Amino acid sequence: MDFLQETGILTRQSGVSTGTKWQAGEGADIASHSPVDGKLIATVTGASAAEYEYLVKTAEAAFRKWREVPAPRRGEIVRQIGDALREKKQALGRLVSYEMGKSLQEGLGEVQEMIDICEFAVGLSRQLYGLTMHSERPQHRMYEQWHPLGIVGIISAFNFPVAVWSWNAALAWVCGDVCIWKPSEKTPLSAVACQRIVAEVFERNDVPEGVSCLLSGGREAGMWMSADGRVPLVSATGSSRMGQSVAATVAGRFGRSLLELGGNNAVIISKDADLDMALIGTVFGAAGTAGQRCTTTRRLIVHKDVYERFREKLVKAYGQLRIGNPLDEQYHVGPLIDKAAVETYLQAITACREQGGRFIVEGGVLEGAGFESGCYVKPCIAEVRPDFPIVQTETFAPILYIMPFSTIDEAIEIQNNVPQGLSSAIMTLNLREAEQFLSCAGSDCGIANVNIGTSGAEIGGAFGGEKETGGGRESGSDAWKAYMRRQTSTINYGKKLPLAQGIKFDI
């Protein structure tokens, strides 16, 4: 496959790098099988504890140099990374699609997100601003400034194998930080390809080794960073259970964690909704990426007056979904990441039936020609009650739960009554309903949309959620502040030293 050659993927390679330099990878082997066809793509060697120590020491040395580079110059280098990603967009997008299983258009879209965040970071590099405050003391000036933290550890998930890393890395780099990236062991090759692209740009610009480090490995590699006091910030994307472990470990050493965890996202369909528009947002939100987005639509709350009509539209639309090789653009839905995910999908369907759910679109595993990997499943829909335990749980698969409501207050209560709080949406042409949904008494999620679905977010806004989603914010807005430390400074330009609050201390 040409895209493997273009991204430099070898049959066997190291996943441990400080930039242009690659270590042997003396840890466990990580085999990357494509869920598209079940074939082994390549084997990556993970890091040993000794190699991790080498990465950290190299990163520490690099930070002392990188923080002194003017922020606009750091931004210019990140701009060049964006250009390099443009050149490799087709090849990298195909690799992401083949290794992870998402559709080609989504794979290309993920690379475009990387390009977009680089552009955002370039502008940000000239806007790392603080405030100037008036002092209560004469001939004094107060101001705040922001300094880089140091090493930022990034733990990314398989469903967005490159984009979420770039959200963190691009911002961290312009802020003056250095990064150690621990990618998902399910998608190590996409990370290797990104490291090579970045390393070429850094080498051209004489950026020291260690500004971008790659740490391939299993759970233990993430825990090394979480427990390491030399890593002041750990940004982790994954399950809520994983996030609890990371947060507890990092907090135990007074470090910072930035968490992007589970979602159990709902769309409310009002009786005043444009049902055709709502249908598009719902189907893509529920079936896109085979239900493996943290922003996937998992619950559909439909007003009783339009419930039957919308359910009929939804069933008809699901009947038109085409499932198959994600590299072929005629297909809407690709495979789940692996057979373990398929088993979780089947267990959720069984649990739903046992709890009283009724499937109006049946699920199941696809077999036969084109489905040899055993990872292709049918997107399905079940009528449920909102209090079913399975409905309270995030299942990373294309299972949509549908339920009716009578009043907007009831719908919002159902929407909020789950442990997770990432993304939410309401489909309505009723201004009062829309404003209530967006008010402090409305959605309790970090993302709340009107007349668009739950899935998909622009890099200009801060991305993240509340409750068991972790509370972190990445990407746009002022998310950059997570990667820096705030310092308040007071300058006395007078000839006396008055104390604050008028305190007298004569000696």
For the chain, the structural domain boundaries read 2-8+37-261+470-487, 265-450
Other CB atoms within 10 Å distance of the CB of residue 116: 21
- Of the candidates 106, 113, 185, 260, the residue annotated as catalytic is 260
Other CB atoms within 10 Å distance of the CB of residue 308: 11
Amino acid 483: pLDDT: 98
CA 394, CA 135: separation in Å to the nearest integer? 50
Amino acid 69: pLDDT: 98
pLDDT above 90 for 2: no
Chain segment 299-356, per-residue pLDDT in tens: 999 999 999 999 999 999 999 999 999 999 999 999 999 999 999 999 999 999 999 9
> What is the share, in percent, of the chain residues with pLDDT greater than 90?
95
User: pLDDT class for 501, splitting at 50, 70, 90?
Assistant: confident
Chain segment 167-180, per-residue pLDDT in tens: 999 999 999 999 99
Chain segment 278-290, per-residue pLDDT in tens: 999 999 999 999 9
CA 148, CA 335: separation in Å to the nearest integer? 40
pLDDT above 80 for 506: no
Tokens of 97: 């699609």
Topology of domain 265-450, per CATH?
A: Aldehyde Dehydrogenase; Chain A, domain 2 (3.40.309)
In this structure, are residues 215 and 26 in contact, taking their beta carbons and an 8 Å threshold?
no
CA 448, CA 502: separation in Å to the nearest integer? 47
Active site residue 260: yes
Q: How far is CA 150 from CA 62, 180, 210, 266, 502, in A?
A: 9, 11, 12, 38, 38
Other CB atoms within 10 Å distance of the CB of residue 274: 15
Assess if CATH 3.40.640.10 describes domain 2-8+37-261+470-487: no
Q: What is the DSSP annotation of 137-203?
A: STTEEEEEEEEE-SEEEEE--SSSTTHHHHHHHHHHHHHT-EEEEE--TTSHHHHHHHHHHHHHHHH
State the amino acid at position 122 in one-letter form.
V
Tokens of 451: 């007349």
CA 455, CA 109: separation in Å to the nearest integer? 13
Chain segment 189-232, per-residue pLDDT in tens: 999 999 999 999 999 999 999 999 999 999 999 999 999 999 99
